[in-house]
Protein backbone atom coordinates (compact mmCIF):
# COMPACT_ATOMS: atom_id res chain seq x y z
CA UNK A 1 0.00 0.00 0.00
CA UNK A 2 1.33 3.41 -0.85
CA UNK A 3 0.84 6.63 1.11
CA UNK A 4 -2.09 7.78 -1.03
CA UNK A 5 -4.00 4.54 -0.41
CA UNK A 6 -3.35 4.75 3.33
CA UNK A 7 -4.58 8.36 3.46
CA UNK A 8 -7.68 7.51 1.42
CA UNK A 9 -8.46 4.57 3.71
CA UNK A 10 -8.00 6.67 6.86
CA UNK A 11 -10.15 9.46 5.44
CA UNK A 12 -12.89 6.94 4.63
CA UNK A 13 -12.78 5.42 8.11
CA UNK A 14 -12.85 8.83 9.76
CA UNK A 15 -16.00 9.81 7.93
CA UNK A 16 -17.76 6.67 9.14
CA UNK A 17 -16.77 7.22 12.78
CA UNK A 18 -18.57 10.54 13.08
CA UNK A 19 -22.15 10.09 14.28
CA UNK A 20 -24.74 11.88 12.21
CA UNK A 21 -26.82 14.42 14.14
CA UNK A 22 -30.25 13.06 15.00
CA UNK A 23 -33.23 14.86 13.57
CA UNK A 24 -35.76 15.74 16.21
CA UNK A 25 -39.46 15.41 15.67
CA UNK A 26 -42.00 18.20 16.19
CA UNK A 27 -42.84 17.05 19.72
CA UNK A 28 -39.17 17.12 20.76
CA UNK A 29 -38.81 20.60 19.24
CA UNK A 30 -41.89 21.79 21.16
CA UNK A 31 -40.53 20.39 24.43
CA UNK A 32 -37.14 22.02 23.86
CA UNK A 33 -38.82 25.34 23.05
CA UNK A 34 -40.98 25.15 26.18
CA UNK A 35 -37.93 24.35 28.31
CA UNK A 36 -36.07 27.36 26.88
CA UNK A 37 -39.07 29.59 27.60
CA UNK A 38 -39.31 28.30 31.19
CA UNK A 39 -35.60 28.85 31.75
CA UNK A 40 -35.80 32.39 30.37
CA UNK A 41 -38.83 33.22 32.54
CA UNK A 42 -37.15 31.79 35.65
CA UNK A 43 -34.02 33.90 35.01
CA UNK A 44 -36.16 37.01 34.52
CA UNK A 45 -37.97 36.36 37.81
CA UNK A 46 -34.66 35.74 39.61
CA UNK A 47 -33.26 39.01 38.25
CA UNK A 48 -36.41 40.90 39.26
CA UNK A 49 -36.24 39.43 42.77
CA UNK A 50 -32.54 40.27 43.07
CA UNK A 51 -33.22 43.85 41.96
CA UNK A 52 -36.07 44.16 44.44
CA UNK A 53 -33.90 42.84 47.28
CA UNK A 54 -31.00 45.13 46.42
CA UNK A 55 -33.22 48.24 46.37
CA UNK A 56 -35.18 47.31 49.51
CA UNK A 57 -35.01 50.05 52.12
CA UNK A 58 -33.58 52.63 49.76
CA UNK A 59 -35.45 55.78 48.87
CA UNK A 60 -35.13 57.09 45.36
Q: CB-side exposure of 49: number of CA atoms within 13 Å?
A: 6
Domain with 39, as residue range(s), is 28-55
Question: What is the pLDDT at residue 29?
Answer: 92
Q: What gap in Å lies between CA 55 and CA 60, rounded to an integer?
A: 9
* Assigned domain for 22 exists: no
Q: Assign 43 to helix, strand or coil.
A: helix
Provide the pLDDT for residue 1. Answer: 63
Distance (Å, rounded) from C-alpha 52 to C-alpha 48?
Answer: 6
- Count of domains forming the chain: 1
Residue at 21 is within a domain: no
Along the 60 residues of the chain, how does pLDDT read in single tens digits?
A: 687 887 777 776 655 556 667 777 889 999 999 999 999 999 999 999 999 999 887 765
User: What pLDDT sits at residue 31?
Assistant: 94
Amino acid sequence: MNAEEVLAKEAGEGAQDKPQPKRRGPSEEAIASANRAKTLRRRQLEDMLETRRSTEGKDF
